[in-house]
Structure formats: structure tokens, C-alpha cells
A and B are shown apart, each in its own frame.
Chain A
Amino acid sequence: MTLKIVTDSLSDITSDIADELGITVVPVYVRFGEEVYRDRVEITTEEFYRRLVSDATFPSTTQPTPNDFLEVYEKLSKEADEILVINLSSKLSGTYQSALQAQNTYQGKCRIEVIDSQLVIMGLGLVVIAVAKAVQAGASMDEAAELVRRAIPMSHSVMLLDTLKYLAKGGRIGKATNLLGSLLSFKPILTLKDGEVSPLTRVRSRIAGTDYLYNSVAGFSNIELLAVEHATTPDEADELIERLSSLCPREKIYRSNVSPVIGAYVGPNVISITVLEALKG
């Protein structure tokens, strides 16, 4: 039995990791006015953030179509017997719906399972990486799906943003809406709770913000995997990774870029950490 893992580009899994672990990443679409790009495939992260700041049009994003998933299912059918699809939070995007619809239309021989992770960015990415490793080590479909479900509550992302402006404009602000309306500027620190954006706290400086990120990692005693992601501040990410390697072996720390699709909602200069706690037993 061959089992293949599929996720979407909002997992922030880089192509290197995807190749190494045999993960198929379905791109989400990002749109500037009439121009439509496939996330990471047709628009680079750098190009995207440059345009996010300079373009008058505010970008919007669109989930992959059911057909995008169907094509992936059919392609994988040639080499696999089972497909496990793990998508970002259905509260943030309709990607999960597309993957499900494709599953219903699919007429091939593979057994397909689709899971709504309630997570996004490396929160999702680390879960996918962990399960892909388990599959390489011989986990079955049922074991892998069970692993995903158990790992979901163990995955914690904390994001430092420069502003709430983009989140408010994009309509994905979730419970952080009560941070809006401040007369002082501040940098919000957010997390994902029950699949929705939720506020943690506010800081006034980047340094205080990255300290907060570091401390939130330091609060965990049993780190399985760790991820650091940035949008436009690579040096800051490297510095943070350097500091974090005292808490977690360097080879367990994944470095990635925040997907432009997420960038459209959180703005440039976002930096985030994700902790995947070790599963008990």
C-alpha cells in the first residue's frame, strides 16, 4: 500500500521539504485586480510583498478549485493506493471544501481522506511534516490520520504583526477585532484558536515582539518540531533561530516564508514561530 500526503500552499512547506518528504502541495491563488497567480509557483514571496506595499489594489486570495484537487488525486492515483489530504482551517478558507468536493467527484481507485486541520502556516506545516515522516517510517493511512488528529491540538503558532490594518481590510480578523481602534500604534501578537485568529497581546517595539516570540517557545518543555517564518525580514528570522537553538536542536527548527496568501491578510514584516509539542505515548 502506498500512501501519499497532500496539503495546500498555506502550510508554508517549502519545495525542498516537500520533495524530501514526498508531500504534494496544492497552490492557493493570489489576485491583484485582474491578475491571478498561483501561490509560490507564479509569484515569488519578494515580488508579492513589494506589490502589497506599493500597489493601489489590495490583493485578494482564492482557494484552489475542486478541479485543482481532482487533478492531484488523479495524478497520484498512478502511484498511490491511498491519499491523505490535510488542509488549512476551514474558518479561514474554502480550500477544505474544495478538497472535499473533489473527493466526492473522484472516481479512481484510491481511498482518500480529507482533514480540516483548524491550523494554518507552519502550524499546519509542522503537522504535515510530522505525519509525512511517520508515513516514511511505514505508518498506515489510519495511523497517519490518527496522528494528524492528535497533533492538531499540539501545534501552536504565535505571530508578530506590524499592524492590524491588513487583517481588518481582509476580513479575517476573528476575535482580534477587539484590538482594533487603538489611538496608539502597536504591534499585535496573535495566535490561532479554534481555527480563528485570536489576540494574545500587544507590543510597541519589534524587539519586545521578538522577545515575546522567544519566550513563548521557552514556555514549552517538550518540543517535537519548531518553525520560524518571516515575510520580509530574513535577518530577524535568522537571529531568532540562533536564539532558539538554545531551546531546541537546530535540525529540528524549520525556516520558511509566510505564504503571500497569508501575507495579503497580515501585511509585510510578519514573523512567526510555531511549536509542535511531542505527542504523549
Chain B
Amino acid sequence: MSQTKTVAGQDLREMFSAATSWLEKSAADIDALNVFPVPDGDTGTNMMLTMRSTMEEAYRAPDHSASGIAHAMARGALMGARGNSGVILSQILRGLAQGLEGKESFTTTDLVNALQQSVDYAYKGLSNPVEGTMLTVIKDAARAAQAQVADGNDDFTEVLEATVNAAGDSVANTPSLLKVLKDAGVVDAGGQGLHTILDGALRYLKGEAELMRLRKPQIIVSELPHTTPLAQVAGVEEVPFGYCTEFMLKGEKFKPDMIKKRLEKKGESLIVVGDEAIVRIHIHTLDPGSIIHWATKLGTVHQVSIRNMDEQHQDYLEMQKDRMPTTDTAVIVVAAGEGISDVFVSLGAAAIVPGGQTMNPSTKDILQAVESTFSDKVIILPNNKNIVLSAEQVQSLTEKKIKVVPSVTIPQGVAALLAFDYEADFITNADIMEKALPSVRSIEITRAIRSTKINGLKIKRKQPIGLLDGDLVAVGDNNINVVAKVLEKINLNKAEVVTIYYGEETEAAEAEQIAANITEQHSQLQVEVIRGGQPHYGYIISVE
């Protein structure tokens, strides 16, 4: 491929024009990523409309230099910015224009400077910059460009490619920076939009304009563990969100910083950007009237948009329903230990009832969890033989349809939940899940509560003991030794996966040691170690 060393004004315009069409194709997909109450109900659409206004202005620009085009774009973006994401995008374009000031065409070095300006402007406009959003994405992208150029790379395509890749990685990482994204299992919508724009520009530069017409941008998917069940994320909260208020102020001698200061206490998600003549304001407030009223004293008010965010929230809840699996069956699980609960939730449990050995939940506790789910059909995994009965009582107390899959250990519960079939109906699923119970062997390591003699084993109080599928089969001096003794009773040659959940009082290092011992003797086994955090049991181990 031929090298591109400089980009002229018209190329810049065509790159962003292609990027706008590219963004248009995935605007709806980006909208679907929105996570309330991260601002904006329709990020993809807002960014697309902002880009359209940006490009209209770019095509009207009398000056065809890179600087002239970039300034026209910045102006168009500010005039047409919609929503939080649109306003931040306008700041990014403004930084770009500043960085290209006076340039007829520009090099990779100029690009790096311009991107740095974009970062500065993007952060400056916000009263309360949040990481894990577009801000982080532009920052990471700029840093990647910087690194390329510092390495002496002057090929525009290569530098931009590295920039786009870094933006993509940054988007994928947004859930680890912003909990609300992690909970919903999505990436930041604004970041995704920005990545799509940069990607579109790159593809144009690479000469893929024809191909772009046939293809569609990809939405980056978060691969981080979900920590909250979707049902909970989409739960009904009665806190009012107020109004998303946006408008443009025209006049003279504005001081955006002063305006920002005045509005800081009036609401959330405040953004004030612009210059002496035009200022754009975005705020989430309970009292939009007083803000507009105040603004009319400073200058003329344009493009006023006031949207009720509680309505947006309802739309969001509807959208969440579409994202959920087509099944109408909820599974609730009895479990103790944070790590084990997280595992169940990450596998799709709708609710966790805290409980287990020596802390059996009451029928009422389980009933409450059943009633808290959206579904009318609920499968319960008791995961303990002393809880099966209480779980079975729930049916007589609720209108909902209940099936108890009588799992008596945590590994059985996990095996049952994994076997859940997304295409099967309620009754069939309960049947499939029950059939999955014997597919796993359960090992539990705990300490004897009294001295006794059982199954031919002489046991002293507080000695570590090992249970296999509920039967006491081993006793020893320490955990490592007991685990080894129990494992001897299982034909590991036919097994594929061993999962070790270690308890709240167990050292991680010991668990790793046990894992290493197993791998050493049975190299074909895949061994996973998870901090289960369960009380009483030093280890719960599943073999399948």
C-alpha cells in the first residue's frame, strides 16, 4: 500500500464525510448501548446528528486548507451538537481545529498535536469528567498516536490505524472503569461512537470507500464479567431523574468558565463549551425553567431542548427487555459466599438467596426472592439438602409457577444453571436441569465439629474432613492432604474440568497449590480456581 505522509483539507473533509456515513449505519446499535442514568437516551443518534451538522458546515467552508476545513467542522459541530456525547464530540473537533490552525495540509506530527488539543478541550468542557467514557477513549487514542510518531512513524495510515486500534481497546475497557457499564455488560456508547468515527475516517484513507457502502461498523462487546443480574439493573427505581436540558446561547463577550461556575450547583452532568460569541449548555436539572430564564438575560437562546429523563428511563427499560434472552423463566439460587454468588449471577441467576449449611433460609426468604423477579415462572436451586423442603413450600404461597430442581451441593447448582436451555420452556428446563445434577461430582472440605468414628474413619474434633457427594470419605491433617484423598476416589481420567472454590478463611496460595498438584498428576484436566468466599467450607470442588 502506498504511504500517505500528508493529508490536505479536502481529504480531511472526505475522511470525516465517510466517517459520518459509517456512523449513520450503526447509530441505532449505539443507541442500544445506552445505560441509564449515564446521560443521553440516544447517543448514536445524537452523535450522528452532530456529525451531519459538522459536515454541512465543512462543505460550506470557503477556505479549503486543512485549517479552514477543520475550523468549519468545529463550528458546525458546536452549532449542531446534540446531547452530552455530541457536545463532547464538538469539543474534540474544536481541539482538532486548534491543532491544525494555519495548516494547508498536515502530517502525523500535526495529527498528534491536534489530538492532544482534542483531549484537552474535551476534558475542559466538563465540570466533572468521568473516566470510562469518550474522554478516556480520545485520551487513549491520542496516546497511541503519540507513541507511533515518537517511534518515527510518518505514515498517516499506519498512525491512524494504531490510533483506531487503541480507541477500540479503550472502548472494550470502559466497563472496567465505569461500574454502570459493567453491571449492564455493555461498553460506553459515546466511546463506541467515537471509535466508529475514527474507524470510518481510517477506512476512507485506506481506500475502502466502496466496501464501506456494503459493510457495517462493528459494535465492540464487553467481555468482562457481569456482576449484577440484568433484572436488577433494569429494576424499578423511583428516584426522579429530572430534565435533560440543552440549548445554545448567542451573544458577545461570553465567558464559558463563568457560566459553568454559575450552573454547577443547578444540576448534574453539566457541560458548558464555546467561545465569546456562542456557548452550548447541557445539564440535567430538576428546574430547567429557571436556567433558561437566567440564560435569556445573557444573550439570545437557540435550539432549546428539554427532555423528560424519566420517560427516557422507561424507554431504556423497554430496550433492556429486548436485550434479555427470549426465555420467560427465572432461576433463583440459594448460596453463601460472595464469590460463589457472583458466579451464579454471571451465569444468569435472577436472584440469590443468602444461605447454606447451618444458615438455612426460611421459606419466606425464598418466597421474597421469587416475588422480586419479573418472571411468572421460577426455578429454584436450593443447593443444600436441608433447604430443598423449604424451597418446595414456596409453591403454596405464590401465584407464580415454581419448580424446585433439588440440587444438594453448589457444584450441582452450577451444573444445573449451566444446562439451562434458552430455547426450552419452563417444564422442559426444570427437567433438563434436574438431569444435569448427576453430571458433576461434588467435593466439600470442612472441619469436624466433634470427634467420632464414621465409615471406618477415626475423626478428631476440628480435623479437616472430606465429603464426596455428601458422604464423608476422608480425614487428614491438612486440607491439601484431604483433597488428595478424596480425589483418589474419583476416576479423574474421564474428567475434563475441575473447579476449586476456596472459602473465606482459606489462603489463595493453598488453593493454587492444590490446583498445581492436580495439574501435575493429570495434565489433561483444566483446573479453575475461584475465590468462593463461602463460610464453613475451606473448599468446594466440582469435577466434571
Contacts and interface: CB of A to CB of B under 8 A. Distances in A.
Contacts of A108: none
A126 B422 CA distance: 25
Contact of A177 (B1, B221, B225): B221
Contacts of B520: none
Interface stretch (A78-86, A183-191, A222-230): A183-191
A164 B226 CA distance: 15
A173 interface: yes
Contacts of A207: 496
Given A201-B418, A206-B496, A175 B347 contact: no
Query: Considering residues A183, A186, A199, A205, which has the most beta carbons from chain B within 10 angstroms of its beta carbon?
Result: A183
Contacts of B207: none
A63 B218 contact: no
A180 to B, nearest CB: 6
A94 B215 contact: yes
B422 A198 contact: yes
Say whether chain A's binding surface is mostly helix, strand, loop, or mixed.
mixed
A133 interface: no
Contacts of A200: 421-423
Contact of B414 (A63, A175, A178, A184): A184
Contacts of B497: 185, 204-205
B346 interface: yes
Given A178-B348, A204-B544, A184 B530 contact: yes
A8 B144 CA distance: 39
A173 to B, nearest CB: 6
Interface string B417-444: 0111111000000001000000100000
B422 to A, nearest CB: 5
Nearest to B501: A184
A184 B419 CA distance: 13
Contacts of B222: 180-181
Contacts of B223: 164-165, 168, 180-181
**Which range contains the number of B residues in contact with the other chain?**
35 or more
A34 B1 CA distance: 9
A171 B432 CA distance: 30
Contact of B323 (A178, A201, A208): A178
Interface residues of A, number: 36
B346 A182 contact: yes
Contacts of A191: 423
A92 B497 CA distance: 33
A181 B346 contact: yes
A62 B211 contact: yes
Nearest to B420: A201
B325 A178 contact: yes
B343 A183 contact: yes
A180 B186 CA distance: 10
Interface in B400-426: 414-415, 418-423
Interface string B328-355: 0000000000010011001110000000
A170 interface: yes
Contacts of A202: 347, 418-420
B499 interface: yes
A184 B499 contact: yes
Interface string B1-19: 1000000000000000000
Given A63-B214, A97-B214, A177-B185, A184 B347 contact: yes
Interface string B522-543: 0000101010000000000000
B326 interface: yes
A203 interface: yes
Interface string A144-163: 00000000000000000000
A199 B325 contact: yes
A89 interface: no
A98 interface: yes
B439 to A, nearest CB: 7
A98 B213 CA distance: 11
Interface string B222-244: 11111000100000000000000
A184 B531 CA distance: 11
B218 A178 contact: no
Given A177-B221, A182-B225, A184-B414, A204 B496 contact: yes
26 contacts: A62-B215, A63-B214, A94-B214, A94-B215, A97-B214, A175-B326, A181-B185, A181-B222, A181-B223, A181-B346, A182-B347, A183-B530, A184-B347, A184-B499, A185-B497, A185-B526, A185-B528, A186-B418, A193-B423, A198-B422, A198-B423, A199-B422, A201-B418, A202-B347, A203-B419, A205-B495
The 3 closest A-B pairs by CB, nearest first: A171-B218, A205-B496, A181-B226
Interface of A: 34, 62-63, 94, 97-98, 164-165, 168-171, 173, 175, 177-178, 180-186, 191, 193, 198-208
Given A181-B222, A205-B497, 6 more contacts: A169-B221, A183-B347, A183-B530, A184-B499, A185-B528, A203-B418
